[in-house]
Amino acid sequence: ILNVEQSPQSLHVQEGDSTNFTCSFPSSNFYALHWYRWETAKSPEALFVMTLNGDEKKKGRISATLNTKEGYSYLYIKGSQPEDSATYLCAFETSGSRLTFGEGTQLTVNP
Amino acid sequence: GAGVSQSPRYKVAKRGRDVALRCDSISGHVTLYWYRQTLGQGSEVLTYSQSDAQRDKSGRPSGRFSAERPERSVSTLKIQRTEQGDSAVYLCASSSFSHTEAFFGQGTRLTVV
C-alpha cells in the first residue's frame, strides 16, 4: 500500500492570509502528482498535474511545487478568500495510471 | 455525456443489506476508480480498473466491496452486507491517459441505518 500523507489535516485562516499545505509521497516509481480541490456539495476538480522534478505551476492565487527526489509537493494559496474554503486532495500517480490519494487538508477561510 | 455522473445521489440502506451504486464515466476513459470519504476515517480508494471490462484491480481489497464494469463507461460498485461504518460519500472518477487529471462524479452519499 502506497503512503500519501497530507498535512495539516485541517487549517483555519483569516481572509487575506497566505497559507500552504504539504503532500508527501514515495520517491520511487513516480509518474505524476495531482492536486484537487473538493468544495462541499461539489465534485473534486483538478488544480494541477505535475510530472517533473522542480515543476512549479500556478493558477491565479494558487501555486504548487514538486520535489520528486525527496517526495513532497507544496500547495500555496496567496491572500486566501472565503471561496477558497474546501478540502485539498493530493494524489500520487504510479504505473498504470493508478492514483493513490491522501486524506486531504480541509481549509476554512474566515471572512 | 459531458462528465462523470453517479446515481443515486443519496441512498439509505438498512444494515446488513446489499447496495449497488452506479457510475457513468466519460466515454473513452480508460481508468476508473471508486473512492470513498468517511468522516473520521479519511479517504480511501476502494477499487480501480483499467480498460479491460470485467477486470477489477482492487485498491484495498475487501471481501464486501466489488466493482463490475459491464461496459467501458459504466461501473457498478456493489457493497455486500452493509455496516454502519460504510456510511460515507462514494465517488467515482475516471481518467484517459497517464499524467492526465481524473474527472469525478458528484458522489453518492450512503447512510447505513
pLDDT tens, residue by residue, A27-58: 888 999 999 999 887 888 999 999 999 999 99
Candidates B41, B104, B106, B108, partner chain A, best to mutate (most A CBs within 10 A)? B104
- Say whether A46 and B30 touch across the interface (CB within 8 A): no
Give how far A79 is from chain B: nearest CA, Å. 26
pLDDT in tens, A48-106: 999 999 999 999 999 999 999 999 999 999 999 999 999 999 999 987 677 888 888 99
pLDDT in tens, B36-91: 877 666 667 677 666 554 444 444 446 898 888 888 789 999 999 999 989 999 99
Predicted pLDDT of residue B38: 75
Of A31, A91, A102, the CB nearest to B99: A31
Secondary structure letter of residue A40 according to DSSP: T
Between CA B14 and CA B27 the distance in angstroms is 34
Give how far B16 is from chain A: nearest CA, Å. 27
Give how far A45 is from chain B: nearest CA, Å. 7
